[in-house]
Every structure is written in C-alpha cells, then in structure tokens.
Structure 1
Amino acid sequence: MKDSTPLLQSIHACMAADVPEGHANDSNARRLWWAALEVLQELLGSDGHASGGVWLAAPLPALYSPDLLKRFQGWVWAPQALDALHAAERSTLLPPDRRHKPDAEAEAAASCNHFQRLPLQDSDSQDPLLIVITGKLQVALALYGAEGQRQLLMRSEPDVLGQVLTLVEQRLRRDAPDQANDLQQAIRLLGPLQSSSDLAMQFWPKLAERLAGMVPTVTLQAARASDLGSDQPRAESNADKADAELSLLEAITHEVRTPLATIRTLIRSLLRRRDLPEQVLDRLSQIDTECSEQIDRFGLIFQAAELQRQPESPSALARTDLGAMLQTLAPGWEQQLQRRGLTLELKIEQDLSPVLSDPGRLEPMLGGLIDRCSRGLPAGSSLTLTLQPAGAKLKLQLLSRTPDQLESLESDNLSQEQLGPVLSWNTSTGGLQLSQNATRDLLERLGGRLTQRRDQGLTVFFPIASHC
C-alpha cells in the first residue's frame, strides 16, 4: 500500500544514526548546507569524476553546476503541488515532466537537464537531501534535526550508503518502478565503485575553509588614528579609502535589493492567480514576506552608508503618529517573529501626541530595531515594545526576555565584532547588522535619540511635535 512507502525522513534518520546531536539554528545550518554544496561540487569537478555519475535530491535540485548537470544523471523528489503551475513557470523551477510534455521540444529540454522528477509526498521531510554516486566518490548530504538542534550530515561510509540506497530503491519501487530500474542500470554502468570512506578527511577541512571565506572579507573600517600619521596627504588617502569602501557598500546593497525587488514583483503576480493550490500560495506568501524584510534591511544599510558619506545632508521632519504606525506594523512583525518561535507584546498608551520624524524612513527603521533586538534570541523568547509619554518626548522601549525571564537584549554584545562605521558582525550567529553607531546616527536623522543599556534594553526618545 502507498502508506508503507518509505518517507524521506527515514533516509535522514538513517544518515543521522550514531551521529552526535546538532546544536545549530536553521539559519546557520543552511549556511553549512550551501557551503557543503560548493565543496562537493568542487570535488566532483576534478578530472577523477569526468566519467559522470548519478545523483538524487529533495525537495528541489541541489546540484547547480552546469557541467555536472550535463555529465551526471539525476532524480529529484519535488512537491506535487507545483504540478499546478503553468509549463512556462514550472520550467523555471523544476525540470519538465516527460509524461506531460511528450513533444520533441520537451524531450530536448529533458535531455539537457539530465534529471527526472519524482513525487514528493505531503508527509515527506522538507529538509534538503543530496546523494551522489560516482566511480570514485559516493556521498550523502542532508540537513537534520529540530530548530536549535540542526546539523549538516555527511556520510560516505559504504555500509551507511548501502542502507541509504536500499531505502531509496524501496521508495522508487513504490513511486516509479521504471525509474528504480534506470537508477540501478546507471549505477552499474559506473563500473566497480572505489570506496570513498576517506572523503571526510578532504570534505570537512575544505568546508571549514569555505565557511571562513564566507565571513565578511570587506572590513569596512574607518581609518584608525595609528594609521593616519602626522602628514596631511596620508590622512587624505585614508579618507578617500573609507569613502571608496562606503561607496562599495552602497553598490552592494543596491545589487542585492534590485533582484529581490524583481523576485517580489514576480511572486506577487503569481499570488493574484486563483488557480494555484493553497499550499503553493502559502509558500509564495512566505517568499514575498522574506523578500520584503531583506529589501528593507538592505535599504537601511544603504541609508547608513549614505549618511556616513554625506553627514551634513538635510532631513525634513514632519508630524508623525508613531502610535498608529506601531499598531499598523505590529501584525507583520508578529508573523516575522513567530517563524522563529518568538512573541511580540505591545504596550502603547492611548491618545499620544504626534512626534517629529520622517514617516517614510521611520517605518523600515522600526522594523530594523525589531530585527536587531530579536536576532539571536532562542525560541520561546518574547519581545516587549512600549510607547509612553516622557515629558516633551515619547519614549519607545524594546526589551527582550528569554524563557527563563532574564532580560537579555544585549546578552550577546561580546559576540559583536565591529566592521567599521556601518556594520557589525555577530560572531556567534554569523549575522550582519547595522552597528550601534550607525543605528544611532540614523535615528538622530529621524528625530530620535537612542540609548541602549543591558539592564534597560533599547530606548528611543522622539520629540513631541507640539513642543518643537
């Protein structure tokens, strides 16, 4: 019966046997996954694998090297809900299905892609999986574990791979018996397989090197006093260098936001469709939200860099109903935090006076403060936002609490490494964010004054419009 079909999580569990429990969050685990794919494809690109091989992946293709896709034969377990997409849209995400497109054009496209689609059940794990078999290298990669216990699995031992391939064959026999036969035939054509049990000695050091390379290498540092010296030309050289670095940062943020905006536009055009399954629409909505969050995040970085290069540029402030703005933005923040197992509590007093600020720029700035205060918090934590009068100002305060009820907004300050006047890098999470100085400067431009203490959380004072 179909209910007895092995689920993909059984393959993950097989790979996780006898492996110590992981301790990573999902963001860090996926950073490991992408680095692992780069390392593996680098190893597969060597001359020793020129004869080709086979690969299986889920829930979407994992190999992306055009050369490997041409030389290797592949199978991909993909969500069945995506079958509802029109052919032109489906072809941008997954290989064409020969059963639905038997014409010559589809055959040519399928032969170019060199991998076949397999049905992914709703009950299957959504964690990424990749199995690669060549004459000289056999390996299985996967992400595994619950949030906070995530880990990258790499297994190349012959006995483990034998069990994994047995589960794969059982699944294929249920889903597509002809594809099971094709896989067996493809592996036989590889000839005698040489054990790659020593792959770990190559893989993990290369992965460590790759991760080290992913740490920001453009350290946007302001000229240090010790570097300036006493002569004016040297000082001017350092100033020019700092200006060039900030220009580079502006260019990078622009190059990131532009494709994200394009993706969001395409996603929203699909969301207007009424013939897509609910599951697909939910996933598209998640992508739209993530794109919007990252566009706003990089927009703040761009503004911070612009402010550093042009500190004297004027800023027009206007009457702004801060309380109403917070109430409007809160539902989106709550969804953002819920995805990470966090909660948001609002305490906004009634009948508050308007403040002087720039509402257009203040909205993404507030979202940046929420992100700054919640980043790195463990699941189960809460974030409290209060807004109340404080003399001739309104006081906005953010305070986070961990599950043990200890105030923790600045608990990881020691993990922050300054990357210049704009960015800081959290060495414990690997995340980039605006530096405290850049955050303070942006808020001052928006009429606010930032104070940040571990025992009092993050507080911003905005001047009341009627008192200015």
Structure 2
Amino acid sequence: MVRKWLLPTLSEVLAKAEPTGIDLLVPEFNPPDPYPSTDRQQLQLQAHSQWQSAIASVETLLLKSLPSPIGVQDLSEETVIEGLLITAPLPLFSHPAIASQLQTITFTTPHTNRQLLPCKSTGIERELDRAAHFPIELLPTDPLADERFCLVLTDRFSLVVVLGEEDGTPRCQFSFDPDDLDLAWKSLRGRIMLTAPHHLSYLDELATQFSPIEPHYRWVMAFSQYLLEHQPVATLAPTQPAPEVATKLAADVELIQALTHEIRTPLTTIRTMTRLLLRQPDLSPRVLKRLGAIDRECTEQIDRMELIFSGVELATTQPSQAVDLTTMSISQLLEHSLPQWQQQAERRNLNLAVDIPHQLPAVVSNPTILDRVLTGLVENFTRNLPSGSRIQVEVTPVGDRLKLQLQSQPDDESPHTAHQERHSIGQLLTFQPDTGNLSLNMNVTKNLFQLLGGKLIVRQRPQQGEVLTIFLPLSMIAQS
C-alpha cells in the first residue's frame, strides 16, 4: 500500500532527485551470521551501518569546518550561530563545539522515549528559539516519523543524509546538491508550519542566512574519505537469550524506558531554564556559581539516564542490530573526556592522577558509545570512594591490546570506607541506598565492553577497593 501524505519524506525527495541524490554504498565487513535472517533484515542492517558511517563522517566534517576552537564554550555568553542543523528522531551530536555553534532542531514523535522539551507555545518562545537546541513534534500520522535524517546548512557546505525506505527497500542516501537541499528544507518547513509555527520566523532567518550553496569538490572529497575511515571493520552480536529470560528482559526494558524518560524530561527543562538565566546580564558571582552547579548536576543526571537507556538498548539488541566498530583514536577520546573526569573527581574531593603516553596507537571500537560507557564507569567509580582518595589512571599498550586501568588509593589519614552496599533492580540495574546512585549493573557493563570489542575486568582489593581494567583491541594498522 502506497502511503500518501501532504508533504514528501526526505527519502522521497532524494529518490525523485536521482541521480543527484546518491545511494550510500560503504564497503562492509560481513562475518558469518549465526542467526539466519531474511533479505530485508540484511538490507536493514546494511542501511543502518551506512547511516552510522555517514553520521560519524558528518560530525568529523563539522568539527573540521567550525571556526571556534573545539570544545570552547561559555554558557554565560552569547554564542555566534554558525549554521542550522536539523535531525530526527533524536539529537545526533553532543560535541560541545557543534552544540554551541549550530542551532539544532530535532523532529520528534509523541512516542520518542528520549524526547527533550515538549514543544509548546509559551511566554518565553523567543528565548527558547535562541537556545542551543529544541524539539519539534511531528504529527502522529506523518511518514517522516519512520525516517532518520540529518540536514546541515552552513556557509561552508550543505549536506543532507537520510535513512529510510523507497518502495519498501531500506536505503541510506545523501546529497550535497543545492536543489535537493532546498526541497528537503521546504519539506521540513511545511511540517514546522503545521506543528510549531511560532518557531518559523526565526528558522526562516537562519535558512536564508545559510541557504544551500554549490559544494566545493574538496568538501565532497573529504566526506567520501571520512566514509572510508568510519566504515565498520567488525561486527559483534550478543547471544540469543532463552524465551523466559527474554520475557523478563522485555519487562525490565519497558520499565527503564519509562523511568529514563520521566527523569530526563524535567531535568532537561530545568537545565534549559537555568541556561537562559545564565545569559542574563549583571548576575552576581554567587548566583552564577549556584546556577552553574544546577546546570552541571542536571547534565550529569541526563547523561547518566542516556547511558542507562543506551546500555539497555545494546544489552537487549537483536542479532541483526549489531554494534559497528571502527578504527579510532583513543588519544582524542581521552583528550575530550579527561577534563570531565577531573571535574567529577574534584567535586568529590578526590585526586585524579593520569599516566598516559604522549602517543597512543589507534584501537578498534565504537567512539561514541565507548565515550559514554567510560564516562559512566568513571563516575560510578568515583562515587564509591571516600573523600581524599587518589585515583590512578594508567593507559599502556600490552601486546595486541591497549590497557586502561583505574585504581584507587585511600588517604592514609582517613579510615577506609567499606564497600558500598548494592541492590539489583531486575536484570539490568544496580541501586546503592547509601548514595542513591542508579546505574547499569556490572554484568551489563561488561557485556557492553564486549560489544565494543574490548573486555572489562573488575578486581576487589582488601582495604583498598576496586581495580577496573579495560582492554581494547589495537587496530591492525597500528600493529603493522
């Protein structure tokens, strides 16, 4: 049955524009599948893999093109908007340089579990318009809700990437062509007019300011090169659970989806309001400090809910929905993550000591998921330590693997604190009554590292606490 709707989906826009709209064809690693699947499942897996490679390439392209230094942002100052970024069904990029310099719009559905702010007309519409990100809800019957897409409009390049279907066949397509991008924007603009007209004036200004331009061949070549660099080199699939276990897991997943949504939504609202207040002039240092603390705490809790949700998704993923692994720079990941780890330690009066070689070989993993899992692991690690403890972080190549180890050394002047009591909630979560900390249990965390190509070993030392050791496989390029 052919769906008819008022406005075309982005897949339909690019399909009609062929041959300008190009199918994304990425060489893939295809190991033997222990769970036979239908042709459609294979096509879905292939298109999803291509989508992940394309989005990683878009992120790399954006970080190379944005004018401000990577990672520099100050929430108390107005940032210069360098472009318009429209995604669905969730925000795709969390890097500070992208979040602070691009006006981000996310098209959501009423059932998007990780939806941020409800898109409602309020008395602070213009303030929300100027916020770094806000969602726009699609109508329930809109076929665009079945697609994933990313539309980028900047003064240096314009690009659209779409994961959807054409004639029932899963496809990932992209285009740099200004005509295709103009049609894509008009299709999205029509939906904004239907459900969020109060945002239209502001977005029209940005769309005019960053209207699609003829692509310079260097940007297209760079994108193609990044596609090759981000192509998956390995695929892992978890074992299939027994039927009775799968039933229990499904119940846990539904509970966690509802829990993370109900926690994250109000926290995101609080954080957005806090950031709007931080932009007000003439705030006293004391008020700025308190607001900054509120923003920081909300962000940590939102990130924790995101990690739990993502971890549960991966822990219960179907065999056909594997994790894509690629050659990545562990040095860049640590350079981005270590300042956050340091802040976590300082707020708990802990001393973080880092011993990392100046140059590290590349590893094979999934950079986005690995960053989230490592940060969550470090946060849980620091929460279990008494004030004054010292955390030693060591990274060293060991044979064909890279070893990242975290170990604690209690303050000699402070009595050792007994290991925190932990209670299991279902098969996926752990709760610590003393701290109120909710996290993925260690078995799920270990499974996540296995899905990411690595291995996590947890060792308990008497009177000293845990030692966490993570092993990641070195890239074959790094070993040659």
- More helix per residue: 1
Bigger Cα Rg: 1
TM-score by length of 1: 0.46
TM-score after normalising by structure 2: 0.45
